[in-house]
């Protein structure tokens, strides 16, 4: 574009630099008119906005992104980059692991190189995101640069076109007519309208056009992609995004940290396929397959005392849902997904009675909670003071009792018992609620050392009803994603654009009659086969037999 | 006879009808030049016979699908066998649609083998009806997989038409560099298809022979709980004579095959996965069988395969082939976007709470999408037609097949179906 | 059209640069989520103390704070408790607060434990794991050293011995607020 071109067409229209076909009459401007080749019809031959004579710095950047060639390169680089990321696992697949050694240990030298190159987090790397940003830039600039000129060109089309414009289309018919040009053109309107064309005539020239909207499809796709990319970008803004996994023990109201919501797992269950639900062949393999994971969940919102940890919060039920895989609980943008579960039962409380082993007398039934237990119990003549508890009892190297974790795997309670026949300051007594622990840790032997109560008193849980256990825990993924509607909106727009541009075609037929010779040219964005068939059927309705194949203009 | 049995018959009958219909298409195309025949009448008559046969095959295929669905209570796309069978059915549907638009019997001659190969490949996998695991129990399984398979079937038809174009325009007499390169690559494409056939043939041949070899592999695992090395014995069962043994393994039982009674070499250390050595072994057998098949064909025909096929495709106009290829891809692309990306995202959002997680299968679906969008941009805006566009469409199908099969076999992820070899 | 074009180009390109920079920045830094890092402000907490009162970090404004996440069942936490107590006694008059945040245990367990060890620095209960989440604590113990300006000076994961603890606190005191 270094030369200053003469962009004025013979019809008198002044075209912009870069115009391929005269904006007014359609005469090809690229050569001296001796070429017979097919016309370049993209964007109807108009100049892109950015094409200008002396591009400066900004123009150059603009031109770079407005080039489809660049866009295709960007797509290809992104594609190759995405491929590289699938060679080995990505770091984001793991929660707790050390990437510095993982890749080397698992894949050896190659793995280490992979990690060192940063390919273990390809999709979060600066160059991959940069590629996506550049694709975004290309989407915006390409569209801006083409859609406006195209819109202008299509909204003010001249009906009589230059002869070369017609004869150098891909579908062409030329032949003599017996009747007067204007009459023929008038007669041609009806069959074309019947085929859904909007028909414009001017003297003995005609333009028939349909489904122009399909031309906007690509730009709508691009707009949709931009909306999608922006939504994804802003998803990460603070406050718009929340993604955590928590355990919800059955029967407990557990706070969802960072919110004023509490979730209670009323009941968790796993259902397996029964044998008669399986096919014969599969039954033989002896495999057991889960059918359903379900957490009956109730969501509470805190209404008072929410911010004061010293008081009990006031809760109000706001939502109730049986969470299943594929069916999360939803409340005001918050979603709770079934993620995992643990079927290990855990003690919540026991209700033992105090038994005097000598007389056989029983005192009370008292509730001993694993967490935040009551500290003193009065049972008949006896007083039990809870001195210490060890939820996961063990002895350390010095022989002192400790708890190995905060889970009640092997709970033990240390009491000081006061009452008749006991020293005034009381005697120490240790109690293991689980029978298995009593034997494992030798409760009696410990008590003998502590205060010798093992033959006098006993704590006894009399029936299973007095044991309260958390049967299971459900692991839920709590998410808030305020940008999701925009993600879906973007994708919806993309789909609309795709359907517009691929399932409809912009078809145009031009014709002119000069001294008894009909010249017809037709253009479509895709499906030339259908275009030829339509032209052939139109001509035959007008009494001209033209084989579909004969309409094809070889060009070369 | 229960539903499952009916569906099995449906599968078998469909398979044989497809094979018959393929032969009829070949007769319809090549028979025109036979003596004492009116070419047009011959083509019309045999074209009708072959299309009728392939449609009957499709009907039988639909019966397979419907009865298996009725038996299992879910759409049969939940494992590799079901999915590949479904894909071949969709290829036949896509072919039927395109055929009804363009009426080119040549398409049949090339589309049928693709459907047959995919169907035979499906039969390699275990055919049990498996119960659906909770994450698959969703309406999106039906929508997502069906649409994805449909679009991929259209891409397959696009591939077939592109291959037709390339065969049609190949210049056998030219000795120019580009023409020679063209010949070489088309031959290579056909050779690759034969390798796939070789894989299927070798699997079925050794399965019919009931071959089984067993290896044990000692694997040192650092047990995190006891902080101690503990050795776990892993057994690898081969259904093909072992050329490659697992890394540091001991042969337990290796029946002799053609005098081969032990593995020739060991897999390298980085292929330490339980089944990766077995997969490598299978690949080697597929290559061997494929090469033998190819050489046999060359020996019988005494010409490159492309040269054998070229006269048969004379009947199609190259521009039509080009257009059909483009049209098929243009039909498939929006369906792919909707089925393999948008609906997949909606489902992922519902099942896992994230619409996109860079899982290998997801990434490869994106790669396929990017690839075809590059194709469309090149075609629409950069004027890629004919040869260049056809090559892109041919390679595109390779990308599709890798997304469907390769990812599952080589890279495991959330989509890993139960598979074999 | 000709006149409006240049500003449009500049605005579009500027938007792309700004959004692109933001995208790359958040992707590259976003890998560590929004956990507090050295130099950032410690997340606010509002927790019940062992003394039965509700405490927030604002109470210790202008003081250097050593925030230690611990539990009685965590051996390494237990091991470093005497060192923390010693440092608390040594530095409490120089404007240093040692704050133990107990993760998810009940009052009785903690009371017994502190009495047994004889510690008397303030202890808060993180019953609902709110602080654990906000501070992104994974292994225990994890200790955050906050200087007098209210910025995190360093984060230590794992057991601390007397010497390193002393040095860390000395640095905190030296950076006057």
User: C96 and C26: one domain?
Assistant: no
User: C67 and C122: one domain?
Assistant: yes
Tokens of A523: 């253009």
Question: Rounded distance, CA B325 to CA B341, Å?
Answer: 22
Whether B contacts A, i.e. 3 or more CB pairs less than 8 A apart, is yes
Per the CB < 8 Å rule, is A335 touching B353? Answer: yes
Of A42, A337, A528, the CB nearest to B353: A337
User: C13 and C63: one domain?
Assistant: no
Residue A123 to chain B, least CA–CA distance (Å): 8
Question: Rounded distance, CA A167 to CA A156, Å?
Answer: 21
User: C127 and C154: one domain?
Assistant: yes
The closest alpha carbon to B304, from B182, B170, B193, B183, belongs to: B183
Contacts of B among chains (3+ CB pairs under 8 A): A
pLDDT tens sequence for chain B (421 residues)? 688 889 989 999 999 999 999 999 888 888 777 777 777 888 888 888 999 999 999 999 999 999 999 888 888 888 888 999 999 999 999 999 988 888 888 888 888 999 999 999 888 888 888 888 887 888 888 899 999 999 999 999 999 999 989 988 887 777 788 888 888 888 899 988 888 888 888 888 888 877 777 777 665 544 444 444 445 566 677 777 877 777 767 777 777 777 667 777 777 666 655 567 777 788 888 889 899 999 999 899 888 888 888 888 887 888 888 888 998 999 999 999 999 999 999 998 888 888 888 888 899 999 999 999 999 999 887 778 888 899 999 999 999 988 888 777 776 544 444 333 3
Q: Which residues contact A109 (CB under 8 A, 6 or more apart)?
A: none
Q: How far is CA B201 from CA A322, B22, B127, B242, B288, in A?
A: 49, 19, 18, 17, 11
Question: Rounded distance, CA B248 to CA B327, Å?
Answer: 52
pLDDT tens sequence for chain A (556 residues)? 334 455 677 777 777 777 888 877 878 776 555 566 777 777 777 777 666 666 788 888 888 888 889 999 999 999 999 999 888 888 877 766 677 788 887 777 888 888 888 888 888 888 999 999 999 999 999 888 888 888 888 888 888 888 888 888 888 888 888 888 788 888 888 899 988 999 988 888 889 999 999 999 999 999 999 999 999 888 877 777 788 888 888 888 888 887 888 898 888 888 888 887 877 777 877 778 888 888 898 999 988 888 777 778 888 888 899 988 888 898 888 888 888 888 888 888 888 888 888 888 888 788 888 888 888 888 888 888 888 888 888 887 777 788 888 788 888 888 888 888 778 888 888 888 888 888 888 888 888 877 777 777 888 888 888 888 888 888 888 888 888 899 999 999 999 999 999 999 899 999 888 888 888 889 988 888 888 889 988 988 888 888 877 888 764 3
Question: Rounded distance, CA C104 to CA B147, Å?
Answer: 49
Per the CB < 8 Å rule, is C108 touching A389? Answer: yes
Q: Cis (ω within 30 of 0) for the bond into C141?
A: yes
Residue C44 to chain A, least CA–CA distance (Å): 11
CATH no. for residue C47?
3.40.30.10
User: C50 and C117: one domain?
Assistant: yes
The closest alpha carbon to B246, from B235, B260, B230, B259, belongs to: B235
- Whether chain B has a CB inside 8 Å of the CB on A128: the answer is no
Residue A360 backbone zone (phi > 0: left; psi -120 to 50: alpha; other: beta): left
User: C47 and C93: one domain?
Assistant: yes
Do B242 and B215 form a contact (C-beta atoms < 8 A)? yes
CA angle B255, B258, B263 (to 5 degrees): 55
> Which residues partner with A401 through β-bridges?
A395
Q: Where are the alpha helices (DSSP H) in chain C?
A: 2-29, 75-91, 107-117, 130-135, 162-174
User: C87 and C11: one domain?
Assistant: no
Chain C residues close to A371, C-beta within 8 Å: 106
DSSP structure class, residue A122: G
User: C16 and C69: one domain?
Assistant: no
Per the CB < 8 Å rule, is C23 touching A372? Answer: no
Select the residue from A74, A325, A334 to test the B interface by mutation, using most B Cβ atoms within 10 A: A325
What DSSP string runs through B41-108?
Answer: HHHHHHHHHHHHHHHHHHHHHHHHHHHHHHHHSS-S-SSHHHHHHHHHHHHHHHHHHHHHHH--HHHH
Q: Where are the beta strands (DSSP E) in A448-527?
A: 457-460, 467-470, 473-481, 507-514, 517-524
3-class DSSP state for residue A236?
Answer: coil
Question: Rounded distance, CA B252 to CA B275, Å?
Answer: 16
Closest residue in A to C124 (Cα–Cα)? A309
A261-316 pLDDT per residue, tens: 889 888 888 888 888 787 777 787 777 888 888 889 899 998 888 877 777 888 88
Is the pLDDT confidence value at C176 over 60? no
Whether C contacts A, i.e. 3 or more CB pairs less than 8 A apart, is yes
The closest alpha carbon to A388, from A424, A423, A413, belongs to: A413
Question: Whole-prediction pTM value?
Answer: 0.84
Residue A430 to chain B, least CA–CA distance (Å): 30
Contacts of C among chains (3+ CB pairs under 8 A): A
- Whether chain B has a CB inside 8 Å of the CB on A360: the answer is no
Per the CB < 8 Å rule, is C10 touching A233? Answer: no
User: C11 and C68: one domain?
Assistant: no
The closest alpha carbon to B236, from B224, B227, B245, B228, belongs to: B245
Q: How many domains does chain C have?
A: 2
The H or E element containing residue A331 is: strand A329-331
User: C97 and C16: one domain?
Assistant: no
Of B132, B351, B370, the CB nearest to A75: B370
Domain region containing C14: 1-30
**CB interface of B with A, residues 137-156, below 8 Å:** 137-138, 140
Is the ipTM value over 0.95, yes or no?
Answer: no
Q: Where are the alpha helices (DSSP H) in A156-180?
A: 163-167
User: C23 and C100: one domain?
Assistant: no
Question: Rounded distance, CA B376 to CA B329, Å?
Answer: 9
Of B137, B360, B370, the CB nearest to A326: B137
Residue in this structure with the two tokens 């119990």, named with its chain if needed:
A377
Select the residue from B360, B369, B415 to test the A interface by mutation, using most A Cβ atoms within 10 A: B360
User: C47 and C8: one domain?
Assistant: no
B24-46 pLDDT per residue, tens: 988 888 877 777 777 788 888 88
């Amino acid at each position: 574009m270094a030369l200053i071109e003469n962009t004025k067409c013979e019809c008198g229209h002044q075209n912009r630099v870069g115009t391929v076909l005269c904006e007014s009459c359609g005469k090809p401007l690229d050569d001296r008119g001796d070429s017979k080749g097919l016309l370049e019809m993209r964007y109807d031959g108009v100049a892109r906005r950015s094409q200008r004579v002396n591009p400066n710095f900004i123009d150059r950047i603009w031109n770079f992104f407005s080039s489809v060639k660049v866009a295709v390169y960007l797509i290809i680089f992104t594609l190759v980059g995405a491929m590289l990321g699938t060679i080995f696992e990505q770091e984001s697949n793991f929660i707790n692991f050390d990437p510095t050694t993982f890749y080397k240990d698992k894949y050896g030298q190659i793995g280490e190189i992979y990690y060192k190159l940063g390919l273990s987090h390809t999709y979060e790397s600066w160059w991959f995101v940069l590629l996506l940003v550049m694709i975004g830039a290309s989407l915006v600039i390409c569209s801006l640069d083409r859609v406006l000129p195209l819109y202008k060109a299509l909204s003010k089309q001249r009906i009589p076109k230059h002869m070369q414009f017609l004869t150098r289309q891909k579908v062409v018919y030329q032949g003599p007519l017996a009747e007067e040009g204007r009459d023929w053109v008038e007669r041609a309107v009806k069959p074309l309208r019947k085929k859904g064309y909007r028909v414009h005539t001017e003297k003995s020239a005609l333009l028939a056009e349909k489904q122009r909207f399909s031309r906007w499809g690509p730009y709508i796709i691009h707009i949709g992609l931009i909306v999608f990319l922006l939504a994804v970008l802003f998803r990460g803004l603070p406050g718009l995004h929340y993604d955590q996994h928590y355990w919800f023990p059955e029967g407990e109201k557990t706070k969802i940290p960072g919110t004023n919501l509490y979730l209670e797992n009323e009941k968790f269950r796993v259902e397996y396929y029964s044998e008669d639900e399986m096919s014969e062949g599969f039954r033989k393999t002896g495999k057991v397959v889960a059918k359903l994971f379900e957490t009956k969940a109730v969501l509470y919102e805190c209404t008072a005392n929410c911010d004061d940890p010293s008081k009990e919060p006031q809760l109000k039920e706001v939502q109730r849902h049986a969470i299943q895989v594929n069916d999360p609980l939803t409340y005001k943008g918050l979603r709770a997904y079934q993620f995992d579960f643990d079927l290990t039962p855990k003690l919540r409380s026991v209700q033992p009675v105090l038994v005097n082993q000598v007389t056989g007398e029983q005192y009370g039934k008292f509730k001993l909670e694993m967490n935040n237990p009551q500290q003193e119990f009065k049972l008949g003549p006896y007083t039990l003071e809870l001195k210490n508890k060890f939820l996961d009892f063990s002895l350390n190297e010095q022989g002192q009792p400790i708890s190995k974790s905060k889970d009640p795997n092997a709970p033990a309670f240390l009491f000081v018992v006061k009452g008749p026949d006991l020293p005034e300051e009381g005697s120490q007594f240790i109690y293991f609620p689980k029978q298995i622990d009593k034997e494992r840790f030798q409760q009696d032997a410990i008590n003998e050392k502590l205060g010798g109560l093992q033959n006098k008193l006993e704590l006894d849980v009399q029936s299973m009803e007095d044991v309260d256990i958390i049967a299971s825990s459900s692991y839920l993924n709590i998410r808030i994603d305020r940008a999701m509607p925009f993600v879906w909106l973007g994708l919806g727009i993309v789909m609309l654009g795709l359907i517009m541009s691929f399932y409809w075609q912009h078809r145009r037929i031009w014709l002119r009659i000069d001294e008894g010779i009909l010249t017809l040219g037709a253009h479509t964005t895709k499906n030339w086969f259908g275009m030829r068939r339509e032209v052939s059927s139109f001509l035959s309705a007008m009494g001209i037999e033209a084989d579909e194949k004969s309409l094809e203009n070889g060009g070369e | 006879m229960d539903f499952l049995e009916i569906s099995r018959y449906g599968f078998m009958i469909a398979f044989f009808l497809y094979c018959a219909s393929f032969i009829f298409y070949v007769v319809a195309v090549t028979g025109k030049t036979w003596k004492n025949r009116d070419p047009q009448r011959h083509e019309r008559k045999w074209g009708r016979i072959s299309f009728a046969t392939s449609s009957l095959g499709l009907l039988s295929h639909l019966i397979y699908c419907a009865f298996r669905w009725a038996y299992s209570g879910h759409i049969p796309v939940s494992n590799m066998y079901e999915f590949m069978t479904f894909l071949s059915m969709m290829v036949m549907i896509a072919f039927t649609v395109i055929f009804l638009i363009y009426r080119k019997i040549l398409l049949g001659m090339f589309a049928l083998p693709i459907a047959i190969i995919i169907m035979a490949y499906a039969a390699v996998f275990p055919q049990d009806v498996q119960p659906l695991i909770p994450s698959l129990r969703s309406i999106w399984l039906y929508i997502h997989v069906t649409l994805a398979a449909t679009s991929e079937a259209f891409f397959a038809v696009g591939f077939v038409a592109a291959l037709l174009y390339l065969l049609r325009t190949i210049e056998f007499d030219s000795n120019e560099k580009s023409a020679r390169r063209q010949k070489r690559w088309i031959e290579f494409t056909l050779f690759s298809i034969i390798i796939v056939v070789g894989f299927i043939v070798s699997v079925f041949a050794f399965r019919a022979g009931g071959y089984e070899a067993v290896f044990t592999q000692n694997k040192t695992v650092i047990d995190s709980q006891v902080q101690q090395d503990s050795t776990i014995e892993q057994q690898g069962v081969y259904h093909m004579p072992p050329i490659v043994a697992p890394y540091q393994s001991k042969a337990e039982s290796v029946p002799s095959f053609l005098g081969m009674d032990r593995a020739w070499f060991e897999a390298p250390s980085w292929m330490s996965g339980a089944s990766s050595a077995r997969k490598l072994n299978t690949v080697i057998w597929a290559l061997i069988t494929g090469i033998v098949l190819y050489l046999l064909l060359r020996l019988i025909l005494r010409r490159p395969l492309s040269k054998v096929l070229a006269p048969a495709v004379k009947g199609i106009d190259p521009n039509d082939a080009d257009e059909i290829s483009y049209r098929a891809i243009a039909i498939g692309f929006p369906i792919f976007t909707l089925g393999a990306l948008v609906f997949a995202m909606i489902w992922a959002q519902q099942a896992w709470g994230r619409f996109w997680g860079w899982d290998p299968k997801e990434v490869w679906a994106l790669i396929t999408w990017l690839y075809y969008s590059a194709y469309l941009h090149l075609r629409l805006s950069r004027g890629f037609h004919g040869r260049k566009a056809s090559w892109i469409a041919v390679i595109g199908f390779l990308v599709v097949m890798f997304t469907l099969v390769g990812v599952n076999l080589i890279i495991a992820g959330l989509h890993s179906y139960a598979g074999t070899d | 059209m000709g006149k409006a074009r240049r500003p449009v180009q500049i605005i579009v390109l500027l938007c792309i640069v700004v959004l692109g920079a933001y995208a790359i920045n958040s992707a590259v830094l976003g890998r560590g989520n929004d956990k507090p890092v050295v130099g950032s402000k410690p997340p606010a907490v509002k927790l019940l103390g062992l003394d039965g009162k509700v405490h927030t970090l604002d109470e210790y404004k202008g003081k250097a704070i050593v925030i230690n996440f611990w539990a009685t069942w965590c051996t390494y936490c237990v091991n470093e408790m005497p060192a923390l107590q010693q440092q608390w006694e040594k530095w409490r008059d120089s404007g240093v607060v040692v704050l133990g945040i107990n993760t998810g245990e009940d009052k009785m367990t903690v009371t017994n434990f502190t009495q047994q060890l004889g510690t008397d620095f303030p202890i808060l209960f993180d019953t609902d794991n709110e602080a654990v989440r906000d501070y992104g604590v994974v292994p225990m113990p994890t200790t955050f050293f906050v200087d007098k300006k209210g910025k995190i000076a360093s984060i230590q994961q794992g057991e601390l011995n007397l010497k390193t603890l002393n040095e860390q606190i000395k640095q905190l005191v030296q950076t006057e607020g």
